[in-house]
Structure 1
């Protein structure tokens, strides 16, 4: 017996299943079943026929895509750090989370926090079961291809790298330009041996490091090495400390993918009696509030993130309403302080 026959006989066919059978997104199924004009008549007819054929009965999750319950949005991000491949939230992400939640709340939307999943199907099922009518992903988390597929089935918006090949809408800082600014700064300060601290498998970090290399350049008197770490402070601290102790080659500059990693690096550098910035210059990224209060105050890249939370919500609302939303790349500036 086929999977669809099993679903029909058990009455368990869901809106996700119906969308897959029809070759459309879940919101399109929802709008078609409500006979909204935003869905082409032939598409509405096909979806109604499939619903009847497979005995579709609207369950609580499907009902949540309609009426008052449709005002629920999932915010998806990693809750825990798990080593070098980690995309666990940095302090900046917690700030952004607060901004997004505030922007949703003032629009009378309910917020549900969700962990990352490992497949498109699991994402669909999770989001449908909680009754979310859209999802905001805080970071690509190394799941670019998965998000590509999910965007065709469910309304999503992503905070992260704006990629030219992306099928999903994204809001994020100009990561490549940020890296360029750091490269120019450290080159201007005559630093010749640079450590890039962060995980280049994540899209935002990869672009930051690519921008750095493009402006800093390489040559006989300029060396760059990458130390892949997740977003954990302790992991970064131990990694930098071990690198300095175990490798005789001297470092005189560190570009950390986040401010949290930069602070961890400074702690490690100080423990072996090196002085920041005289011996080792350190530059972070994000300009979180702690950066200015840190001792010494951290040189970093500031993102134009004041609009990020409201932009993410605004773009998601457009996508939910069937409008094609364009991605937004926010400007960045270098903030020179004492490191």
Structure 2
């Protein structure tokens, strides 16, 4: 027993108070906690009925159920999760390890995961990592094991599994989102390459001779996939890709890079790797007196809810975060049930949302 504070100062291993030598009186229920039998006696029902109510089964009359629930509340009874897991083989709990909670995509994906898990009857335990290393990843896994989760969804948004020092244990079901597929576990992600191709091709089809790119951080898996696809699309059109301007996903970085690009009169089309950086670049272009889309067309990525309220409304790539979250839970539950899915990558399609921030270049 871990005794803290004042109680520790007034206790010795023999169970006597230090000031009087009188044995401490202990309530056995306080030590072990109320049992199913205690609840059954208080509610005047059988232990089997208490078990049915505890497990959420429907074959109990409503008035009896209410009486049992009232007894549980009165006694402070909590179902023994370990015992229930031994019986069912599951704790009905899923862990989520996420790196960088600040990005729009990760927040939306996490919301979709929580919704899908709840609909399947599972709770979610979240562990955010600010600096994913061998120690922090291992520590996060250990913490989730201690909390008795059935499986884990990992949202790293980085090339972590290219590093030899980071591996995932094989004894816990897992699904990876937004990272390199080297983990050996199933992976679910937006079709980043398709979205970047849609954005770049749209600008080329409008007649722009070059498309400049405001990319995300080089550590980001999705940013690099978008950048590679942008460059490949230009090359396939016979155009040599210019230098990339890397931001950090923030509006501020988009603003500073937009200032650099906007001062170049040859820049007539920009593809930004997310909507926040696109918004920052749009502000820079406005301040420089370059009209959108008459002088410069710009495309974002994500389709923020606010994208339609940018001025002008932003042409962007829509990601289906709900499907990413739902599919990750589906694949994880397949593993938990013993029906292991293939360890390949499942990609979710994107859509080009054409609005008022793009147009043919001025002649």
TM-score norm. by structure 1 comes to 0.69
- Pairing of 1:138-177 with structure 2 (within 5 A): 138-145=155-162, 149-150=167-168, 152-160=170-178, 163=181, 165-177=182-194
- For structure 1, list consecutive stretches of 5 or more residues without a partner in the other structure: 1-59, 80-87
| Residues 110 and 274 (structure 1), Cα distance of their counterparts in 2 relative to 1, 3 Å cut | same
Aligned to 2:141: 124
Instruction: State the SS of the aligned residue for 2:244.
Output: strand
- Pairing of 1:1-339 with structure 2 (within 5 A): 70-79=91-100, 89-116=102-129, 117-119=132-134, 120-145=137-162, 149-150=167-168, 152-160=170-178, 163=181, 165-189=182-206, 190-217=208-235, 223-241=241-259, 243-244=260-261, 250-326=266-342, 327-339=345-357
Q: Distance in 1 between matches of 2:106 and 2:251?
A: 14
With CA pairs under 8 Å and 6+ residues apart, which has the higher RCO, 1 or 2? 1
Offset from partner CA, 1:91-128 (integer Å, 9 cap, x none): 23222222211111122211122112421422322322
Q: Distance in 2 between matches of 1:179 and 1:64?
A: 48
TM-score norm. by structure 2 comes to 0.65
CA contact (8 A) 1:78 1:89 kept: no
CA contact (8 A) 2:173 2:332 kept: yes
Larger Rg: 2
Q: Distance in 2 between matches of 1:210 and 1:95?
A: 24
Aligned to 1:54: none
CA contact (8 A) 1:256 1:282 kept: yes
| Residues 256 and 244 (structure 1), Cα distance of their counterparts in 2 relative to 1, 3 Å cut | closer
- For structure 2, list consecutive stretches of 5 or more residues without a partner in the other structure: 1-79, 358-363
Q: Distance in 2 between matches of 1:234 and 1:315?
A: 37
Q: Distance in 2 between matches of 1:123 and 1:196?
A: 33
Instruction: State the SS of the aligned residue for 1:316.
Output: helix
In the alignment of these two chains, the number of paired residues is 269
| Residues 123 and 279 (structure 1), Cα distance of their counterparts in 2 relative to 1, 3 Å cut | same
Give the alignment's Cα RMSD to 1 decimal. 3.1
CA contact (8 A) 2:275 2:307 kept: yes
Runs (4+) of structure 1 exceeding 6 A deviation are 60-65, 218-221
